[in-house]
Amino acid sequence: MREVKVRRRSDTGEQSVVRMKAGRNGIVEATYRMDVTEFRVFFTMLTMISPDDVTFCEYEIRVADIMRLFDLSRDGRSYEIIKEAAERLVNKTLVLYHTREDGRRYRTVIPFLTSTTTQIDDVRGESIRVTFHPELKPFLLQLRSEYLEFDVKNLARVQSQYSIRLYMMLRHMMNLKRFTVRYTLERLREIFEIGEKEYPLYGNFKQKVLLRACNDLNETTNIHIDQVEEERSNRKVVAIVFHVSEQKRPLPSARKSAKAEGDAEAEPTLTVVQRKVPVVAVSNDSSLEPVIDELFPLIQKYVSRQVLQDWLVLYPKEQVRIAIRHTLKQLSQGVAIKNVGGYLHKMMATSLPLSFEKPEPKPAEQTKQKELEKARKAEQQQEEKRLEEQTHQQFKQALQTLINHPEWAPQVEAHLRKGLFGHFYKKELTLAENLKNPALVGPFFQIMQTLMPAIFSSSERPE
């Protein structure tokens, strides 16, 4: 498309499909907030971008453009509402967290717009001119891979900013043929730009943000969220799994007279199920980013960056590497794997041998290796038995010392209640009963060594 200084929707055939960079380093999952009107202005601007554009121009938005695009009823304040929303966008920014070549984590802040222009003597007040910030070029122009494309008319009746963000996230996954989508709760808060002080209790976040957005999408868009699954660890919700499917068109019962954002909502009808998980998933561990940058290019055709990150949280890094190498080797050898993403997920939870990475040993070498392995196991078992006996003796000695010094009990109990292993300490049990739990032996040794170093001076303290 030829370069122009000012572009109107009529210049592009009034298209309604928009494109934007997706993925963890794209607009779809960046951190920012817009209200519904600001989103409508932003999306209208996006419909005016051509796939062939290499630079931005000034975009002229008319009130009638937004009214038609989002099927809105016009009132006397339409122009003022749109103008105010466009002017607010000048002060809006998106935030990206990423790892650069030096291996360090960075936080990049990019404004959405550089300017808005309105004609002072325009009595009718029909149009406003807006300009994208140049730093958004890699996110909106010349997109060739990992981008989201959708028709904004599917969001015509959506009433919540969180509904719009969730739609974009799930739509991208569905375009990749993924209909089960998992986000940690922390990651959702980060994307929605909801801080710790806003909806601090999960119950409030669930009712005011999560379920409201899900029901909104079910009632008004071409996405249907069939089920929301809560992953819990130690009774705390740590992640949300969305089970989604297509709707050919918005439901006939779309809320044409929906309440304004913030009004009371009807009781949600969405099915919510709970599932326990063995560990707490931590999504913002910066130490994982270099590993993700290393491994993601190998499997980006099969899973999202978020899925890889979840694997690295749940499983040891080397186990993830082995599972990926094994799967890619299977593919390179012509093994037919119908669902590569699902196969990868299965391999993550499988203890894979390292033998596939090494040449097959000769028979004589195999015999020798078996003998060495047998001897090694016997030595290992002997050492484990020795350490077990040593630990048992040290535990008895430490316990007797605590009995001889009852004044130490409060300090020992306080130590066992805190830290990583604190959740193993049961308040309803006595200190002696709690010490029968093997998980508390390590912390018990730690505090007793501080109180009575002589107990462990004769040998190495067990792990």
- Percent of the chain whose predicted confidence (pLDDT) is above 70: 83
Mean pLDDT for the stretch of residues 100-107:
78
Output the pLDDT for position 263: 47
Cβ atoms within 10 Å of 421's Cβ, excluding its own: 18
Output the pLDDT for position 256: 46
How far apart are alpha carbons 277 and 286 in whole angstroms?
22
Q: Calculate the CA 173 to chain-centre distance.
A: 12
The β-bridge partners of 105 are 99
How far apart are alpha carbons 419 and 16 in whole angstroms?
54
pLDDT for residue 342 is more than 60: yes
- Percent of the chain whose predicted confidence (pLDDT) is above 90: 30
| pLDDT tens profile 352-383 | 554 455 455 556 766 777 788 888 888 878 87
| pLDDT tens profile 388-441 | 787 788 888 888 888 888 888 888 888 888 766 677 788 888 888 888 887 777
Mean pLDDT for the stretch of residues 218-241:
89
Output the pLDDT for position 132: 95
Output the pLDDT for position 165: 96
What is the average pLDDT score of the chain?
Answer: 81
| pLDDT tens profile 237-284 | 889 999 999 987 654 444 444 444 444 444 445 667 665 554 433 444
How far apart are alpha carbons 197 and 95 in whole angstroms?
19
How far apart are alpha carbons 228 and 215 in whole angstroms?
11
Output the pLDDT for position 276: 55
How far apart are alpha carbons 139 and 53 in whole angstroms?
12
| pLDDT tens profile 173-214 | 999 888 999 999 999 999 999 988 898 888 899 999 999 999
pLDDT for residue 62 is more than 80: yes
| pLDDT tens profile 307-340 | 888 788 777 788 888 889 989 988 988 888 888 8
Output the pLDDT for position 153: 92
Residue 113 φ/ψ, nearest 5 degrees: -120, 155
pLDDT bucket at 287, cuts 50 / 70 / 90: low
The β-bridge partners of 21 are 147
Q: Are 402 and 448 in contact (CB under 8 A)?
A: yes
Output the pLDDT for position 60: 92
The β-bridge partners of 236 are 233
Q: Are 400 and 454 in contact (CB under 8 A)?
A: no
Angle 382-385-391 (CA atoms, 0-180°, nearest 5)? 140
Output the pLDDT for position 125: 63
* Identity of residue 190: E
Q: How long is the chain?
A: 463
pLDDT for residue 463 is more than 80: no
pLDDT for residue 150 is more than 90: yes
